[in-house]
Structures are given as structure tokens and as C-alpha cells.
Structure 1
Amino acid sequence: MPWREVSVMEQRREFVRLALQEGANRRDLCRRFGIHPSTGYKWIQRKQASQELIERSRRPRTSPARTAAELEERILAVRDAHPAWGARKIASCLERAGHSSPALSTIHEILRRTGRIVPAPGGPPATERFEMSAPNLLWQMDFKGWVRVGNNVQCHPLTVLDDYSRFDLCLQACADQRDETVRDRLRTTFRHYGLPDAVFVDNGSPWSDSSGEHWTRFSVWLLKLGVSVIRSRPYHPQSRGKDERFHRTLNAEVFALRCFRNLTAAQDAFDAWREVYNFERPHEALNQQVPASRYRPSPRMMPDRLPSPEYDSTETVRSVSTTKSYVHFKGRLWKVPQAFGGERLAIRPLSVDGQYGVFFAAHQVATINLTNGKSVGDVPEQVSAISPG
């Protein structure tokens, strides 16, 4: 009702008083007060019946299609146990437990109506994706941004995710991001799940060296285990979208809900949540299946001793000094990446005359160019060709 004055109730009372006067032109009054005739006659009838002129609720007296209270309680129980889960995951859990599930829109409305849903910030999620064809072909690895726990200690969560299954292989509360810290955690992971074909990392520490060289002692360690290193394109974190999305889920379902007094308490929470994530939490990208349903350990076992590369007896093999990263070839010293200090490298001719490749096993790490007397820096590890951006 478009009443034009400040007090709606006063306008209604005045309208009704005038309309009930003898000889009043009620339709003309409706026009003057700017209301529809049906609205005007409604207030006149209520006044004649000695009823209040207040607005009445338009809510139906009965809702025969409303979800049963027992089912609502089940939905809210799942949500309360997992506050970051949405309608799809809740529906999947109900069906897996043998209960019927209403439409996803109904579950969403129940969550909204009971104040358990918070609109997600930002726009719709990215839709461009890639996926390996089997487990252990590629593991995505990264540190989630650090968080502060009790006693002003920093917690650096190390995460390793299988690209095909989204199975969380490693979730560790680390005190730092040093090379040896990562190796120590990965040794345990490799013993439990075997070795992947490749790991997918960004260009930060400890995967890259602060001097600008891509090769690090960490990546050389992986090469000795037969694990290739693939780097994402600089400034393209979306290429490691599965691990980035995992970090967002970790933040929503663990860090947003509690604080931790120390790293041990954080690790206890990680271990408990990791079980839920891998074996209970339905994953939308897996058609609401759990990651464990698609993951199998790698048949490539972690060796007891770190192997060294083997070269043919006819090859030119040089040992790199532990103090200066050079190899001696054709009467000169040639620069190689510092990460290969103390290692044995093979020098093999390339298809271009006057050029030789410096190889660590099957991986070319530098190029020697006899025509200009210089070595071409280091040959970096493989840069991802699967970056969507």
C-alpha cells in the first residue's frame, strides 16, 4: 500500500473514519489516499468487525510440503558436525547412511533458514581443470600460508595431494619451510604410499633456490628417487588449483573453527581431519565419492638407500666439486648448477654441432657451447604445460 505520509496507522485510521461517514465516496477516497479499492474495503470491513488495522502475517497456516522435523534434525546434525559442508555433501552422507534425502535446494534452504549458511565471498569458482588418468602420476605439493599458534609460534602446514584422486597424502604442521624439514616428512609419506612419477610445485622455497637457480638439493634428491619435478608457470597459482582448493578447505574446516596452543595440538587436529577428508567427506569433483575410493598406493617402493645415477662405461663422466660447481671438459671449466655439487654428471653431444648437454642420469641440467666458449646457465626442470592461464 503506497501510503504517502509518515504514519501508516494514522493514514489507515483517517481513511476508515472518512469512509464510514454517511454519503462518503469510498472509491474517490481510495484515489485520494493512493490505495487500491480492494485494500480500502479490506480496512473498512476490519473496522466494522472491530478488528485491529495492523498488517497480518501472510504465512500459510499449514505447510504440508515442509520437510519433516526428524529429517531436518538429521540434516542439521551433519552440518553441525561438519560446519563447512554444503547441500551436496550432506545429501550424500544421508544417502550413504540409508536415509532419504530431499532436493539439494531444500537442504540449502534449511541451512539458510536456520542461520547455518554464509554466502561465499567472491564470484563463482573457476571451471577450467586438468586431471591425471591414474593415482601417483602426479602429486601436488605446497605449503599453506603460515598461521600463528600458541606461544607466538608459526605453523607452516605442508600439504601433498594426489592429482587424480584428491587423496591427502601428507598434512604436517611444520615449524619452518626448510629443505630438511620437507625431506623428513616426505620420507615417511614415501614409505607409506610409495613414490609418485612426478611432483608439481611452485617457484618458492624450498623448491627453488634464493639465488635464482631452479635446481636445488631437494630436487636432486627427488631425481635420485626417480621422481620428476614439474614447476608451475610463475604467477599462475591456478595451475595448482587442486592443492590451492585443498588449502581453502583446510582453512574453512580446521583453522576457522579453533585455535591451537602449539604445533602438537595442530598436528593432532590435522590427523583427525585428514581421516574425515580422505574417508568420509564427499568430494564434489569426484561425483560425491570420497578420495580414498579412487586412490591406491604406488607400486614403486621407497628404497632403503638413496641410489646414485649409473652411466655407460663409454660416456664422458665428470664429478662436480663440493666447493665449486664446475666440470672439466675440453681443457676448460664449465659452470653447472650448484645443487649438483659432489654429484657425477655425464657430458653428451647434442644434435647441434659444438654443443654438449650436461646430464644427471637422464635429465639435462646444463649446456656447453664450444662455439662461444660459454655454458648456458642451468637447464631448469620441466615447466608445467598444463597451466590453464
Structure 2
Amino acid sequence: MADRSSRPHRSPNRTPTRRERRIIKVRVTRRWGPARIGYLLGLHPSTVHRVLARYGLAKLRWLDRPTGRVVRRIEATQCGEMVHVDVKKLGKIPAGGGWRMLGKAVGKRNKQADKSGGITTQYRNPRRGYHFLHTAIDGYSRLVYSELLTDERKETAAAFWIRAQSWFSERGITVRKVLTDNGSCYRSHAFSDALGTVEHRRTRPYRPQTNGKVERFHRTLADEWAYARLYRTDAERCEQFTTWLHIYNHHRGHTALKGQPPASRVPNLSGQYT
């Protein structure tokens, strides 16, 4: 006695080979999903999905849309192997609250009230109306070091990296590679000198998804801290930043880590090996 396949010898209702070829051609040339392909060819999306799955075509989320190539994801195997660095510009909150929580009419009125209160110059210069969030995230553990700074000049970026590298070293992480975009502060001699022996890699131009781990962190930060609730002053939000960052590193479950916090992947940081 032996188990045999339950697949039938004949499949008279299977999609004809010619139609399958048309489905595959549209998928390869236009990079559409089952719904759009089905609408174009007059087929049900589930039929298109079965054909694509039968021939093992990559899912759209695995593809680089402009080139159609399968995305090569950067997966570190140990702490410090690759640290992702980037800067996010974050608008300051006027006294009373911003427009995201109170609406544009009230937010604009609060901003005008700030101007009339003697700090008009803060808003005349756009650079002074923003915080610059410098972030370094370890690609393996997702452990984050981040600071709210006043600009993104080369000297600021270099000094930030020196502090970030020291912070990682105190937690037993030796940084070997750093990945940044092609911003002027990261192409400077000052940042290169700050890196020292650490290997510096840059993303391809116009491909921010290459540095997706830090980009995704900034999105999480905006959703769960920067715009998570109503802050009446900018100082109130800044005071909550270090608290939220601690929660992210030590207590918040990460989907890429099977629900565990980043600290769980760093030996002895969370006390699991004491």
C-alpha cells in the first residue's frame, strides 16, 4: 500500500495554454496584479491567481516596480553587520497644537498666534521650523539610536554618528558596515572621517527602499509618537521622545522579530543571559 497523488489524469476545465501565456505576458510586461489582469482579459481574478501561482511567478511585493527585478533584501546575520542611517525632517508643533489633530483652521490660527507672540523668526526661516531626526538602526536586531537635532549638515551628521557608534559599543555591538543614502552630509569628508574603519555603503540613486529598515522605522515613529496624540506644545512632544524610544527598543513587539522587542536579539542587553 502506498499513497498516490490525488491529482486527476485529465483536467478538461483547466485554463487553455494560450490564455495562460497571455496572462503571463501581461504580468511580465506590465507588472499587474490578478485583479487588473483579469479585468483586461475578461477572466476572474482567482483564475489569474491560480495561473500565476502554477508557474511560480514572483509576487508583486517582491519586485522592484521600475525594473521588474526581484528585490534583494538585506538580511544581516548578526548585530553590527549592517547599521542603517538616515535623517527625517519633522515639523515643530505650535503652541496649542498642530493642524493634524485640530484641523487646518485651528492649526493655522495657533501658528499665527505663535508668530504674534514674539517668535516670528522661527517661522520665517524654514530650517528653524523643523527638527531633524537622525537615526541609526541595527539591521539584525532593529535596535535604534536616535536624536532630535537642529539641522542635517555634515558636521551634525558626523557628530551624531560618533555618539551612535559609542552607544552601540556600550551595548556590545561592533559596527562593521553603515548604509546611508546619497545626501550631501553623508558624502562629506567629515562623515567619512567619523566612520573611520567602518565600511560605508550608499543606496542607489532614487531608491529609498534600499534603506527600507530605517525608512519603516520613521513611519512607525510618526504613527506611534510624533502624531499619535494631541501635543499642546513642541516641548511636550520632545519630552516623550526618549520614553517612546525606550519602549520601542525594550518592550514593543516587532513583526520582523516574531513579536519580540529589538533588545531580545542583543545578548545580555535585556538580561536574558545573566
CA 1:138 to 1:296, structure 2 compared with 1: closer, same or farther past 3 Å?
A: farther
Structure 2 residue ranges without an equivalent (≥5) = 1-58, 63-70, 95-121, 124-128, 270-274
Give CA deviations for 1:79-120 in whole Å, capped at 9, x if unaligned.
Answer: xxxxxxxxxxxxxxxxxxxxxxxxxxxxxxxxxxxxxxxxxx
Which of 164, 174, 190 is the equivalent residue of 1:217?
190
2:220 counterpart SS class: helix
2:55 matches 1:136: no
Question: CA offset at residue 232 of structure 1?
Answer: 0.5
Aligned twin of 2:181: 202
CA 1:160 to 1:172, structure 2 compared with 1: closer, same or farther past 3 Å?
A: same
Give CA deviations for 1:336-361 in whole Å, capped at 9, x if unaligned.
Answer: xxxxxxxxxxxxxxxxxxxxxxxxxx
Q: Counterparts of 1:260 and 1:294 in 2: how far apart (Å)? A: 36
Question: CA offset at residue 187 of structure 1?
Answer: 2.7
The number of aligned residues is 165
8 Å contact kept, 2:181–2:202: yes
User: Could you say which structure has the higher strand fraction?
Assistant: 1
8 Å contact kept, 2:254–2:262: yes
Structure 1 residue ranges without an equivalent (≥5) = 1-123, 209-214, 299-389
Aligned-CA RMSD value:
2.5
Which of 144, 148, 151 is the equivalent residue of 1:176?
151
Q: In the alignment, residue 166 of structure 1 is paired with which amino acid?
A: R
TM-score by length of 2: 0.54
Q: In the alignment, residue 163 of structure 1 is paired with which amino acid?
A: G
Matched ranges for 1:26-175 at <5 A: 126-127=61-62, 128=71, 129-150=73-94, 152=123, 153-168=129-144, 170-175=145-150
Runs of 4+ in 1 over 3 A off after TM superposition: 124-128, 149-152, 258-262, 264-267
8 Å contact kept, 1:179–1:218: yes
Q: Counterparts of 1:184 and 1:234 in 2: how far apart (Å)? A: 25
Q: Counterparts of 1:245 and 1:173 in 2: how far apart (Å)? A: 18
Question: CA offset at residue 236 of structure 1?
Answer: 0.8
CA 1:196 to 1:296, structure 2 compared with 1: closer, same or farther past 3 Å?
A: farther
Aligned twin of 1:275: 246
Q: Counterparts of 1:297 and 1:179 in 2: how far apart (Å)? A: 34
Identical positions, percent? 31
Give CA deviations for 1:125-160 in whole Å, capped at 9, x if unaligned.
Answer: 945532110000110000013323345431111111
The structure having more radius of gyration, on CA atoms, is 1
8 Å contact kept, 1:141–1:200: yes
Aligned twin of 1:290: 261
Aligned twin of 1:231: 202
CA 1:259 to 1:206, structure 2 compared with 1: closer, same or farther past 3 Å?
A: farther
2:224 matches 1:253: yes
Give CA deviations for 1:169-218 in whole Å, capped at 9, x if unaligned.
Answer: x211111001222233333322222241111000013112xxxxxx5321
Q: In the alignment, residue 203 of structure 1 is paired with which amino acid?
A: N
Q: Counterparts of 1:125 and 1:199 in 2: how far apart (Å)? A: 28
Give CA deviations for 1:260-305 in whole Å, capped at 9, x if unaligned.
Answer: 734x54442220111111111111111111111112599xxxxxxx
